[in-house]
Amino acid sequence: MGSSDTGLNGETAVDVPLFSFRVEFSIQCPRCDMPVHLDGPVATVHCGSCRSDIDIPRDYWVDTLLGSCRKMQHMEKGGGRGSILLGTFRGDLTLTRVDPCCDRCKTEFIDPWHLEPGTSYVCRQCGIEYPLAAPPEWLRKGVPGIRLLINAVLVEEDPSLKEIPCPVPLSCPSCAATLELDGSSRVIRCSYCGDDVYVPDTIWRKYHPGGRKRRWFVISEFSNEDAEA
Ligand SMILES: [Zn+2]
Ligand SMILES: [Zn+2]
Ligand SMILES: [Zn+2]
């Protein structure tokens, strides 16, 4: 919890108590059912498996993050909650009530309650850089009290950057015929000799880079929803 009574740049700031929690979020692609990570409140996310773009409505983000803030503010530090979501999307949301820390070395951030949006935080232990972003206007309206997003993606990167050089060359180990690969199935049948070929990890991962789920943090004020209700 913040303890100093001066904010950044020496301005006098009312020291509102803040809390933070970590978010790991994925949804099931409505077209192909493969998991797609939501690494921040993006408007669109690209499914690497079927290459479709999935629109994530703002309302969905507001509902999810408002609910998350309310649950987490009552949670003991270190506590967490995983849930399978149904509704607009089938999803998987894991929240953990922890102070911001480095994803790699777990070192806690120094003074996480006075971080400045638009900059980044560099882990003093391992040097990894974490972007700090102010929540977009629409999100602040929907989720009053939300202050800062750490390591969150706000704009989905151009899917063309993620496109796989097509076709990925792979030949049948039995007859050396070229196999047709589209990333939808882990085992493909050679159309020449009929052998089933297991797609090697290195190639499979190009289609399914999902292993790197990004964990991000939300910093929020405590809300007084009981008094408002
Ligand atoms: Zn898909
Ligand atoms: Zn670190
Ligand atoms: Zn073959």
pLDDT digit string, tens, across residues 28-46: 999 999 999 999 999 999 8
Q: Which ligand is nearest to the CA of 103?
A: 2
In one letter, which amino acid is 46? Answer: H
pLDDT at 54: 95
Tokens of 127: 């040097």
pLDDT digit string, tens, across residues 129-173: 999 999 999 999 999 999 999 999 988 766 555 555 555 678 899
Residues with CB under 5 A from ligand 3 (ion): 172, 174-175, 177, 190, 192-193, 195
pLDDT band at 184 (very low <50, low <70, confident <90, very high): confident
Q: Where are the alpha helices (DSSP H) in the chain?
A: 58-73, 137-142, 159-162, 201-207, 225-228
The mean pLDDT value of the chain amounts to 85
User: Per-residue DSSP letters for 135-188?
Assistant: PPHHHHHHSTTEEEEES--SSPPPHHHHPPPSSPP-B-TTT-PBPP--SS-SEE
Q: Which residues of 160-174 are buried (b: 16+ CB within 10 A; e: fewer)?
A: eeeeeeeebeeebee
pLDDT over 90 (residue 229): no
**Average pLDDT for residues 66-70, to the nearest whole number?**
94
- Locate the domains of the chain by residue range: 8-160+208-223
Q: Ligand 1 centroid vs 82 CA: distance in angstroms?
A: 23
Count of CA atoms in the C-beta half-sphere (13 A) of 121: 27
Q: Ligand 3 centroid vs 189 CA: distance in angstroms?
A: 8
pLDDT over 80 (residue 177): yes
| Percent residues over pLDDT 70 in the chain | 84
Torsion angles phi and psi, residue 224, rounded to 5: -110, 50
